[in-house]
Structure 1
């Protein structure tokens, strides 16, 4: 009786020597090992993938590549949709602030004009 590597059954020595599938067995085992290695690498990559700080969604490959290649980029913790929302919010806040400043300047000009129209402050 003869036990062969990677097999559970026992064979006779002549059957083991006549059956030349050892190379095929090694190729199958090597393929399984490569597949398991790729799965481990994919799991490690997914574990390292950043998560959006606002919505909790995982970053896409494109976003992740952008983040890695531009380390000084602002708002790295946000995904694309949240980043667009953030910039829209910033733009709307700037617009609102500018409109408030214009309104305050207009009110100050109107107050100054009313001040000069008083009984003793008339201009002739």
Structure 2
């Protein structure tokens, strides 16, 4: 039986139900057929090689980088003469090549493996499908189906790695912020630290030429300096104007005096 639940965390389990009549060798042979079926490849319309089963069913590629085959769920109903527990152990031993993952320091990866999960009706009645009723071949103890089919050890390791990366990133950002703050300019007039905008305005261009008229002053002090310079220039301009007017008046007075003297001398000669 194939159960397709696209929105589920276990979207495509293949289910085998056994009443404890079949031998372990028969069940193991079925799993061999599953392995051959899952391994079949076809060429899609884009010229890519894809698993043949994906022509009929849709399922995610796998969690967190794993690319296992769809899971096979073995459900045992203790009616026949064979013991479910013993049969499960024998099937696991005969099919290790299909479910055995590759172990790293923190977790196993299951690329190209079949997640084979076994349970019994008794366990399902006791714990329900969301409870610890499933044994994943190659793992100790019972797990909920979601964990049994997935890779919780890798999820936990990846979560720890993400948390460590976040901590390192935050620490690096804090160091960079502290180093940048230490480089932040201060106003040479009032000692106030520059704002980010004022800092950017005071930066030199690519050729080392200042782009601001007062790169050593904060915004307020720059405005005050500009106003002071404006008043000084206006005062200087006014003083220059007055000097020019005074010089012009003095020149006109001197010319008038010279004209007056010349007129007096000519008058005496006429008499």
TM-score (norm 1): 0.69
8 Å CA contact retained: 2:203, 2:215: no
3-state secondary structure, aligned to 2:165: helix
CA RMSD of aligned residues (A): 2.9
1:96 aligns with 2:235: yes
Residue number among 209, 212, 223 corresponding to 1:72 in the alignment: 209
Q: Quick check: which one's strand share is greater?
A: 2
2:261 counterpart residue number: 121
Please report how far the alpha carbon of residue 36 of structure 1 lies from its aligned counterpart in structure 2 after TM superposition: 0.7
1:107 counterpart residue number: 246
1:83 counterpart residue number: 222
3-state secondary structure, aligned to 2:234: helix
Runs of 4+ in 1 over 6 A off after TM superposition: none
How many residue pairs are counted as aligned between the two chains? 108
1:33 aligns with 2:168: yes
Could you tell which deviates more after superposition, 101-110 or 37-46? Answer: 101-110
Q: Quick check: which one's helix share is greater?
A: 1
Counterpart Cα distance in 2 of 1:64 and 1:87:
18
TM-score (norm 2): 0.35
Q: Which has the larger radius of gyration?
A: 2
Please report how far the alpha carbon of residue 69 of structure 1 lies from its aligned counterpart in structure 2 after TM superposition: 4.6
3-state secondary structure, aligned to 2:246: helix
Q: Which residues of structure 2 form unaligned runs of 5+?
A: 1-105, 107-139, 141-151, 265-271
Counterpart Cα distance in 2 of 1:123 and 1:35:
96
Counterpart Cα distance in 2 of 1:83 and 1:60:
13
The 5 A counterparts of 1:3-82 are: 20=153, 21-70=156-205, 71-73=208-210, 74-82=213-221
8 Å CA contact retained: 1:54, 1:78: yes
**Residues 1-46 of structure 1: CA distance to partner in whole angstroms, max 9, x if unpaired?**
xxxx9xxxxxxxx8xxxx8333322221221111111100111111
Q: Which residues of structure 1 form unaligned runs of 5+?
A: 6-13
Counterpart Cα distance in 2 of 1:105 and 1:77:
37
